[in-house]
């Protein structure tokens, strides 16, 4: 397979996903990040092996790519994920701002093998007081003091 094709990069993400199942490292998910036709980082699901519920393949790959680039932005990068990202990973992707996302399995495929994130999509679209994890808004006035400190700070690094 030609190494500079989207099919090649996706086959690498899928190869990582399969390997992650066989090694017992975590769920069947892998991701690679590509810049200028080169893989600059990879990630696999490490939730159970690292006791980190945020260690989804995409999040791990984003962290690794940012570390390599010394940047909190993935301008001009492409993310290849073996599965359609969950809302957490999508959020991470929007904050990292790559230029394109490719995915192989769909979220329906993931739900079919027990990884159903549709309830998270629904929860996120709901108002906070309608969510299944009870949410309460307290101490807003006190919280705003931190925001005021940010507003008046002159040497802040925006992101």
What part of residues 26-65 is at the interface with a copy of itself (CB under 8 A)? 27-30, 47-48, 51-54, 59, 62-63
Residue 43 C-beta: closest distance to a copy of itself, Å:
11
**Choosing from 58, 78, 84, 151, which is the catalytic residue?**
58
CB of 139 to a copy of itself, least distance (A): 4
Is 58 marked active-site?
yes
**Least spacing, CB of residue 27 vs a copy of itself, in Å:** 7
Is residue 65 a contact partner of residue 74, using CB atoms and an 8 Å limit?
A: yes
Separation of alpha carbons 102 and 10, rounded Å: 8
Nearest to 43 by CA among 99, 88, 81: 81
Q: Does 84 bind a copy of itself (CB under 8 A)?
A: yes
Decide: 4 and 31 in contact? Cβ < 8 Å.
no
Residue 155's alpha-carbon distances to 113, 121, 151, 159, in angstroms, are: 49, 37, 11, 13
Cβ partners under 8 Å of residue 20, min gap 6: 26, 27, 28, 29, 30, 44, 45, 57
For the CB of residue 51, give the shortest distance to a copy of itself in the complex, in Å: 5
Q: Does 130 bind a copy of itself (CB under 8 A)?
A: no
Separation between Cα atoms, residue 159 and residue 157, nearest integer Å? 7
Site for a copy of itself in 109-128 (CB under 8 A): 109-110, 112-114, 119-121, 123-125, 128
Minimum CB distance to a copy of itself smaller for 37 or for 48: 48
Q: Which of 3, 75, 76, 100 binds a copy of itself (CB under 8 A)?
A: 100
Question: What positions carry a catalytic annotation?
Answer: 58
């Amino acid at each position: 397979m030609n190494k500079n094709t989207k099919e090649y990069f996706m086959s690498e993400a899928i190869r990582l996903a399969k390997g992650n199942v066989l090694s017992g490292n975590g769920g069947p998910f892998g991701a690679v990040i590509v810049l200028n036709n080169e893989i600059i980082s990879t990630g696999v699901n490490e939730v159970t092996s690292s006791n980190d519920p945020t260690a989804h393949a995409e999040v791990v790959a984003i962290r690794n790519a940012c570390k390599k680039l010394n940047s909190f932005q993935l301008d001009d990068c492409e993310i290849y994920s073996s599965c359609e990202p969950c809302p957490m990973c999508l959020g991470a992707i929007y904050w990292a701002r790559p230029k394109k996302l490719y995915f192989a399995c769909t979220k329906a495929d993931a739900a079919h093998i027990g990884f159903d994130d549709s309830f998270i999509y629904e929860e996120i679209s709901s108002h906070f007081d309608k969510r299944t994890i009870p949410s309460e808004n307290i101490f807003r006035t006190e919280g705003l003091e931190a925001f005021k400190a940010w507003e008046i700070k002159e040497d802040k690094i925006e992101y």
